[in-house]
A and B are shown apart, each in its own frame.
Chain A
Amino acid sequence: MRIINRFAVLFILLLISSCSEQGNGVDFNKRSVSVIIAAEPPTLSTVGPVSSIGIFFQGHIFEGLLRYDENNKLSGGVAEKWEITPEGATFHLRKNAKWSDGRVVTAHDFIYAWRLGASPENEYNFITFPMKNASKIAEGKLTSDKLGVTAVDDFTLKVDFEAPCAYFPALTTFTTYMPIRQDSFEKWGADKYAVDPEKMFYNGPFVLTEWKHGVSLKMTKNNYYWDKEKIWLNEINVPAITDQSTTRFNMFISKDVCMVNLEDSNSLKSALKRRLETPMKSFSSGFISYLEFNNREGRPTANKNLRKAISLVINRSDIVNKVLGIPGYKPGSTMFPSWLGGYEKLLHEEYDFNLPLESLSEAQKYLALAKEELGMEEITLTYLYSGGPSTDGMAVYIQEQLMNKLGIKVNLDKQIFKIRIAKSLSGEFDFLGGGWGPDYNDPMTFGDLLASWNQNNRGKFKNEKYDALVVQANNSVDQKERMDCFYEMHKILHEEVPVFPIFESGGIYLADPRLKGFFRNIIGSDPQLTYARIEEDE
């Protein structure tokens, strides 16, 4: 018995001694914040696989020619001024922009990075296509030194466009456009560059000081950063990595992280139940989700009337409000989500994207037409999708609607992500649950998705008028003309229904009320903590 007692005492002592301080979510004295991420970035190389979690880090540790400032407005980064013409752009680099070892950032660091970015081995090379010769380099027809970018001198960078590119300045904030130190990249090689803190140099407001793979990461303030006076934070910690939303929520409740997304209805309910003092805020992820029909020959969904019939029986707001019930989601009637900017204001404020839908009774008419054209009595379709319980709900809803309203039998083909991708590329589906997120802040990031040459056009939709509009918008620098083009594209999609948009995703998040000056971004680092500060405790 005495032994057992001793053990008990020892055990309790162990418990007490091991308990860490509570709440490192925000720390005023250390000027540090902690955030939780769902997955480890595969790499922090800006020419490696692109991931949103990678962009979160890259947006803090690297800086492009331009950046989003403390008001989230586009402003000078490494470049202090720039000029843009339909033929190209010139960037003038500031002379005090430095790497984390004190070396000055020069135009050559950008050229080196962009050439890598345009090469066939970079899967995201399409993002460099506005530059002259980029698409030929990506196809392997030209070597990367032919890329339309030159250094006039160490601090002047000249870009030649393939076609006029009005949004190029904004594009330079994207991760592929960040500079790379040639010496570091060559020392470690493409595979090992930027996979550990010591295997890269930094020119952003922060440097990565710790990366325990699969466990935690840490960024600390970069003392060589040219604008370091504006940076209040000393540390950004990532204490853990987990894709369990409940765990992340629990970490916020325990004040171990400064911010959390309420991604499922459970954590939302539990947040409501606890009557947290923290106000709930919403954010948009920028993603649009849609059904994509297979337009390949021989597929019943290649028939426009069938697509129209289907689109008429699926109610977006029912899916969003009744089936999914995920806070922050809103029904989406277009492939051009509502957050996109237009020529002056928001795109949706300038054009009406909620074109009237035909009545439900028309669906039967279209179905009858489709059956006649296809010469089919019974129609059976395969719906390819992946994801969790909410997408299951959506699939079942669609299955039931099509059966009840149209008598169409739907086979559900649920696959893990990678298999869904492979099957969608090879065309093994009639329609699939697709989604698209923006790469840059311009409607074109969605607009050219359904261009017939786009690889991501998985339904192989081909419409000459649509393709022409994409080209026109690409070649114009007149924003009004371009926006008109996008609206025309929307009308074609509305009429032809190669895709049926369902919702714009977003979410609700909680942030520590003491945390100020951060941004939830659709493009670029999300959250953007560069200019964050913490209010002192009362």
Chain B
Amino acid sequence: MSKYVFKRLLSGFFTVFFIATVTFFGMHAIPGDPLSSDKVMSEASKEALNKKYGFDKPLYEQYFIFLKNTAQGDFGMSFTKKGQDVNDIIKQGFSESAKLGVLAILFAAFGGILWGALTAKYRNKWPDYLIMIFVILGISVPSFVFASFAQLFIVFLNQELNLVFPYRGDGSFVSLLVPALVLGLGTMAFLTRLMRSSLLEVINSDFVRTAKAKGLNSWQIFKSHELRNSILPVITILGPAIASITTGSFVIETIFTIPGLGKQFVEGVQQNDYTLIMGTTVFYGSFLVLMVLVVDIVYGFVDPRIKVGESK
């Protein structure tokens, strides 16, 4: 097991290294740099600033400096956010994004399991059809549309009913609920479908009949037999889902004014903020690699037939 984890971490390290390298050179190949702005500065100014930030050095040298600093865990200072360490930006941004992301994943997982179970239980009856309509909506409508509508709806409701429900992120937990729900919607819809099909398979299996013969009621059967056996696909997509939710939160974050990392990432790209781009890329890359590994390990716990790290 530990050998397996080590091997995976090593390959993950190379993955991140690869991503970082490609991003680094890709980023520099794109026209423009962090210093360019609408109004052109003089050649002298440009030279002075290039020298200050080390852009006058050959690219490979900049690359090695980047590698060296990254190895020391230092992504440097942001170009466009003066005086801010990229490390601090990531730390702050991610703590916000993580709160939002974890909530979104929880919503998606619970919602997906709940709706999936309902559709499976009422297969080809109206609750099934009704939920599946929403599922198709959830999969096909992009989250920013839902986000705008949700916000408008809350504002409207607040006005009509004289409420003060938070319609944007103001740092409180409650204000994260709606953004998280919206953010998790796509995943929830996808999970519902997945859960439905895998539950339908399990519901008719022999061991569910056995459980019935043991005298278990339907909730007990659902909890410890049906759910446990149908949840594997859910866990499978949880890794990618965490990825898409944490990186896809940009629009939600701007609409609901949540100062998350997704927002910083996109702003970094728009501004050609080299250090911020590299910092967030390496961070996201490592995060995803780690998440996929965690999911693979969790697999082993959920399905005892899967032996993590044993070759066949």
The interface of chain A, by Cβ under 8 A from chain B, is 14-15, 18-22, 39-40, 42-43, 45, 48-49, 119-126, 138-140, 188, 191-196, 199, 212-215, 239-244, 246-247, 250-251, 253-254, 416-419, 421-423, 425-426, 428, 435, 437, 439, 455-456, 458
Contacts and interface: CB of A to CB of B under 8 A. Distances in A.
Interface of B: 30-33, 35-45, 47-49, 52, 77, 80-84, 89, 92-93, 148, 151-152, 155, 158-159, 163-175, 254-257, 259, 263-264, 267, 269-272
Given A214-B92, A214-B264, A418-B271, 18 more contacts: A14-B174, A18-B166, A120-B48, A121-B52, A122-B45, A124-B41, A125-B45, A188-B83, A191-B82, A195-B82, A213-B81, A244-B254, A246-B151, A250-B155, A417-B270, A418-B32, A419-B32, A422-B31
Contacts, number: 168
Contacts of A417: 270
B36 A418 contact: yes
A503 B256 CA distance: 32
A23 to B, nearest CB: 9
A358 B173 CA distance: 63
Given A120-B42, A214-B259, A426 B31 contact: yes
8 contacts: A20-B170, A140-B47, A194-B83, A213-B84, A242-B257, A254-B155, A422-B31, A439-B39
B254 A247 contact: yes
A243 B255 CA distance: 8
Contact of B44 (A42, A124, A139, A425): A139
Closest 10 CB pairs of A and B: A195-B83, A422-B31, A422-B32, A43-B82, A455-B40, A418-B32, A214-B259, A120-B48, A123-B41, A240-B257
Contact of B255 (A122, A195, A242): A242
Contacts of B38: 421, 435, 437
Contacts of A18: 166, 172-175
Contacts of A246: 148, 151-152, 255
Which of B31, B43, B148, B175 gathers the greatest number of chain A CB atoms within 10 Å?
A: B31
A20 B49 CA distance: 46
Which of B42, B83, B172 gathers the greatest number of chain A CB atoms within 10 Å?
A: B83
A109 B211 CA distance: 84
A49 B31 contact: no
Contacts of A125: 41-42, 45
Nearest to B162: A22
Given A48-B82, A213-B84, A244-B254, A123 B259 contact: no
A247 B165 contact: no
Contacts of A188: 83
A106 B80 CA distance: 31
Contacts of B49: 121, 123
A417 to B, nearest CB: 7
Nearest to B260: A214
A246 B35 CA distance: 30
